[in-house]
Amino acid sequence: MEKLLEVKDLTVSFDTYGGKVQAVRGVNFDLYKGETLAIVGESGSGKSVTTKALMGLIPSPPGNIEKGEILFDGKNLAKLSEKEMTKIRGKDISMIFQDPMTSLNPTMKIGNQIMEGLIKHQRMNRTDAKKRAIELLELVGIPNAQERIKQYPHQFSGGMRQRVVIAISLACNPKILIADEPTTALDVTIQAQILDLMKDLQKKTEASIIFITHDLGVVANVADRVAVMYAGKIVEIGTVDDIFYNPKHPYTWGLLGSMPTLDNTEEELVAIPGSPPDLINPPKGDAFAPRNPYALKIDLEQEPPMFKVSDTHYAATWLLHEHAPDVEPPESVKRRMKGFAKTGTAPGVDEKKGDES
Amino acid sequence: MARYITQRIIYMIITLFLIATATFFLMKLLPGTPFNMEDKLTEAQKAALYEQYGLNDPLPVQYANYIFGLVQGDMGISFQFDNRKVEDLIMDRIGPSAQLGFQSLVFGTVIGLILGLISAIKRNTAYDYSSNLMAILGKSIPSFVFAGLLQYYLAVKFGWFPVSFWDSFKHTILPTIANAMFTLAVTQRFLRTEMLEVLGSDYIVLARAKGLKNSVVTFKHGLRNALIPVITIMGPLVVSMMTGSLVIEKIFAIPGIGEQFVRSIQMNDYAMIMGTTMFFSILFVVVILIVDLLYVVVDPRIRLTGGKE
Ligand SMILES: Nc1ncnc2c1ncn2[C@@H]1O[C@H](COP(=O)(O)OP(=O)(O)OP(=O)(O)O)[C@@H](O)[C@H]1O
Ligand SMILES: [Mg+2]
C-alpha cells in the first residue's frame, strides 16, 4: 500500500504556569492511502494534540512542536510556514470536530461556510461554489439542500450539523480526513448513522481517515488499523485483528478489559486502576508502569522500545523482550478476545440504527 | 415582530409614567423653594408668583395638572427664564449636548473597539498591557476628575486647547475625550473578553482548519461574532454618557441641556427639572428599544424567537 503520511518522532509541548506539559512525546506512525487508522487512549493521552500538529493547528504560544517530522507529499509539515500551511489545510488534510453544536459559526449561513473553502482552494466563483455546496449537502444526506444552504446552524439538529461539518471537510476532496471523536457528542442512533456515512463516503472518495475515539466498539466498526496512545506515546499499533485478538501491551489489555461486548454483558468490566501520569514531569522508565500489574523492574528504569510482533504489529512493552517472563493477558480479557472473534465486531453499534429526527 | 414592538412601546409608556410620578414627588422633597435666589423680590411678589405657577394648590392637584399637561406634550413654564416654555428651552440647548453626546459615543466606542481588538489579538504582549492600563484608568477615574486633568494640563499649562466654552471644533475636543473615557474603557474590556472567547471557540478552529487566512478568520469569523454582544452594552453606555455630560457641560461651561439642568436644580426650577428629566428618560427608553431591535436584526439566532414573541 502507498504511504501517504509519515510521522516521525513527533514531540509537542505546551508552556503552562505549572511548567512545560509534554503532551506528545515522540510519536511515530505511517498512514496509508485509503485506510482508516483509529487512535485510542484515555483522556489527555495526546490524541488531539497529535492530529492538530498534523494540521498546523497547535496554538502557539503556548504550544511548540519541539521535534519530529510530518512528511506529506514531499514536504515536512512540521516546518512549513503558516502561509504554506493554509494551502494544505482544508484542501489536502481536513478535520471533523467532536462537538457539532459549537463547531459551526453561529452567524454565518451554512452555504457560505461550505463555500468558503471551495472559493479559497479551488478558485471557484460563487455560483459554482454554491452548486457544489448543494451537491455536498446532498452527498452527506441532508434533504432539501437547496433551501438548507440559506439557513443558520441553529436551525439544524446536532446530527445534521455534524453532517454539515463533514460536508465542509469533504468540500475539496482531501487526501486525509481527521475525525476527532466525531460521534462522541451525539446520541447512539445518530452516532451509527454518522459512522455509516463516513464509511460510505470513504469508499467514494478514497480518503484516508484518522479516527480518534474513546470507544473501542467504534474502532472495531470503522478502523483498519489501531494506534493505542498512552501519556503522549503510541504504546501499541497494529491492525484491528492484531489489537483485538492478539494484544501485547498491558495497557491495551486494560482498555479491552474495560470495554463492554455483546455476548458477555453479565461479566463485570474492569477499570484500569490509577490515573495517567503528570505530563509536566513524566516518570522515568515506562509511564504506564505504576498502573501496570505486570510491570517488570526494568520498566521503572528504562523506557521500552517498540518491539516488533509481526510486520503490522508493534508494541512498546518490556514483556516482549526475549528475556522477559511469559505473561498472558488476564482471563477476563482473553474471554473477551474470544468474544470478539465470535461476534465479529465489538459492541453492536450496527444494531442500534434508528431514524434521525 | 410588530407585536413585539407594540408590547415594548406599551412598557415604555408605563416606565415613563412611573418615572414622571417618582420624579415629581422626589423633587418636592428637595430643600428650598423656587424664587429664593432672587433677593430683590418682596414677600408679596413671591406669593403672587406662587399663585401664578399653581404652587399653592394641594400636591395631588399639582400632580394631576402636571401629568395632564405632559400627556398633551406640555411640560410647563420655566420659573427662571421669564415665562418661557420648558420644551422650547430644551430645544434651544439641544445642539451642543447632542454634538457632545454623539462625538463622545463615536470616539469612545471606535477607539474602545480598536483597543479591545488589539488587546485580544496581541494578548499578553506590551500592546495588550498598555491597552488594558488605559481601560482600567478610564474606568476608575471619574469623568469630572479626568475633565479637570485635561483642562489643567492640555489647556491651562500647555495651551493646546481652549479651557472652556463651546465655539469651534477645537473647543469640543477636551469635553469629548473626558466624556468618552468611560465608554472607551467599558468597550475595550468588553470586546477584549468577547473576542478572546470567540477566538478560542471551536468554529474558529474549524475556520482555520478550512485553510482560511488568519485575517479572514479573525475578522470575518471572529470579530463579527464578538461584536454582536457589544450591542447589548450600548444602551447602558449611552445612558451613562448622558448623565456624565451633565457634569462635563458644567465643567467646560458648555451651553447644553446638562448645564441648564444642573442650574435648574440649584434654583428649584421645578418645571425645568421635571421637563429635563422626562426628556432624558424618553431618550433612554428609545435608545434601549433601538438597541434591542438592533440585536434582533444582527443576530440570526434571535430572529426566529424574537418573531414569535
Ligand atoms: N492549549 C493547551 N495548553 C496547555 N496544555 C494543553 C493544551 N492543549 C492540550 N494540552 C495538554 O496536552 C495533553 C494532551 O491533550 P489532548 O487534548 O491531546 O488529549 P486527548 O488524548 O485528545 O484527550 P481527550 O480524549 O480528552 O480529547 C493534555 O495533558 C492537555 O492538558
Ligand atoms: Mg481530544
The complex's ipTM? 0.84
User: A95, B206: Cβ pair inside 8 Å?
Assistant: yes
B205 pLDDT above the threshold of 80? yes
Average pLDDT of span B291-308: 70
> Which atom of ligand 1 is the closest one to the Cα of A45?
21
Average pLDDT of span B195-205: 93
- Residue B205, chain A, CB below 8 Å: the answer is yes
3-state secondary structure of A31: strand
Of A63-67, A141-145, A344-348, the poorest mean pLDDT is in A344-348
Residue A354: pLDDT band by 50, 70, 90 thresholds?
very low
Nearest CA in chain B to A155: B301
- Using DSSP bridges, classify how beta strands A314-315 and A307-308 pair: parallel, antiparallel or unpaired: antiparallel
Q: Ligand 2 centroid vs A177 CA: distance in angstroms?
A: 16
- Residue B58, chain A, CB below 8 Å: the answer is no
Q: Which amino acid is at A58?
A: I
Nearest CA in chain A to B304: A155
| Among candidates B201, B211, B225 on the partner chain, residue whose Cβ is nearest the Cβ of A89 | B211
- Residue B225, chain A, CB below 8 Å: the answer is yes
Average pLDDT of span A289-309: 83
Nearest CA in chain B to A90: B210
- Residue A111, chain B, CB below 8 Å: the answer is no
Residue B36: pLDDT band by 50, 70, 90 thresholds?
low
Helix A158-170 with A126-139: angle, nearest 10 deg: 130
B23 pLDDT above the threshold of 80? yes
- Determine if residue A224 is left, alpha or beta; phi over 0 gives left, psi from -120 to 50 gives alpha, anything else beta: alpha
Q: Ligand 2 centroid vs A295 CA: distance in angstroms?
A: 28
Of A92-96, B31-35, B135-139, the poorest mean pLDDT is in B31-35
| The pLDDT value given to residue B128 | 93
Of A55-59, A62-66, A344-348, B116-120, the poorest mean pLDDT is in A344-348
B309 pLDDT above the threshold of 80? no
User: Mean pLDDT over all residues of chain A?
Assistant: 86
Tell me the chain A residues in contact with residue B305 when contact means C-beta distances shorter than 8 Å: none
State how far the Cα of A307 lies from the Cα of A67, in Å rounded to an integer.
22
State how far the Cα of B298 lies from the Cα of B131, in Å rounded to an integer.
28
- Residue A106, chain B, CB below 8 Å: the answer is yes
Q: Are B272 and B89 in contact (CB under 8 A)?
A: yes
Average pLDDT of span A65-75: 92
| The pLDDT value given to residue A340 | 66
Average pLDDT of span B102-116: 94
Helix A250-257 with A331-343: angle, nearest 10 deg: 70
B308 pLDDT above the threshold of 70? no
* Confidence (pTM): 0.81
Residue from A39, A47, A210 to probe ligand 1 pocket by mutation (most atoms less than 8 Å from CB)? A47
Share of chain B above pLDDT 90, in %: 36
CATH numbers and ranges of domains, chain B: 93-267 (1.10.3720.10)
DSSP secondary structure of B23-92:
HHHHHHTSSS-TTTT-TT--HHHHHHHHHHTTTTS-HHHHHHHHHHHHHTT---B-TTTTT-BHHHHHHH
Residue B167: pLDDT band by 50, 70, 90 thresholds?
confident
User: A86, B209: Cβ pair inside 8 Å?
Assistant: no
CATH numbers and ranges of domains, chain A: 228-343 (3.40.50.300)
- Residue A152, chain B, CB below 8 Å: the answer is yes
Average pLDDT of span B102-131: 93
Residue A299: pLDDT band by 50, 70, 90 thresholds?
confident
Average pLDDT of span A177-196: 86
A301-312 confidence digits (pLDDT tens) = 888 889 899 999
Residue A349: pLDDT band by 50, 70, 90 thresholds?
very low
Q: What ligand has the least distance to the C-alpha of A52?
A: 1
Residue B39: pLDDT band by 50, 70, 90 thresholds?
low
B302 pLDDT above the threshold of 80? no
CB pairs A-B closer than 8 Å: 74
> Which atom of ligand 1 is the closest one to the Cα of A232?
14
Atom 28 of ligand 1: nearest residue by CA position:
A44
Residue B37: pLDDT band by 50, 70, 90 thresholds?
low
Tell me the chain A residues in contact with residue B224 when contact means C-beta distances shorter than 8 Å: 107-108
Cα atoms in the 13 Å half-sphere on the side-chain side of A80: 22
| Residue B53: φ, ψ to 5° | -90, 5
C-alpha distance from A90 to closest chain B C-alpha (Å): 4
Residue A352: pLDDT band by 50, 70, 90 thresholds?
very low
Share of chain A above pLDDT 70, in %: 92
Atom 31 of ligand 1: nearest residue by CA position:
A44
| The pLDDT value given to residue A355 | 42
Residue A339: pLDDT band by 50, 70, 90 thresholds?
low
Of A62-76, A100-114, B75-89, the poorest mean pLDDT is in B75-89
Average pLDDT of span A55-71: 90
- Residue A140, chain B, CB below 8 Å: the answer is no
A261 pLDDT above the threshold of 70? no
Average pLDDT of span B10-15: 93
**B18-57 b/e (C-beta count within 10 Å ≥ 16 → b):** ebbeebbeeeeeeeeebbeeeeeeeeeebeeeeeebebee
B215-266 confidence digits (pLDDT tens) = 999 999 999 999 998 988 888 888 888 878 888 998 998 998 888 888 888 8
Cβ of A46 below 6 Å from ligand 1: yes
Site of grid cell 429635563: B276
C-alpha distance from A214 to closest chain B C-alpha (Å): 20
**Sign, Cα dihedral of B295, B297, B298, B301:** positive
3-state secondary structure of A76: strand
- Residue B215, chain A, CB below 8 Å: the answer is no
B123 pLDDT above the threshold of 60? yes
Q: What ligand has the least distance to the C-alpha of A61?
A: 1
State how far the Cα of A238 lies from the Cα of A309, in Å rounded to an integer.
9
B73-107 confidence digits (pLDDT tens) = 888 888 777 778 888 888 888 889 889 999 999 99
Cβ of A60 below 6 Å from ligand 1: no
Q: Ligand 2 centroid vs B230 CA: distance in angstroms?
A: 32
Cβ of A279 below 6 Å from ligand 1: yes
A348 pLDDT above the threshold of 60? no
Name beta bridge partners: A63.
A14
Average pLDDT of span A209-232: 90
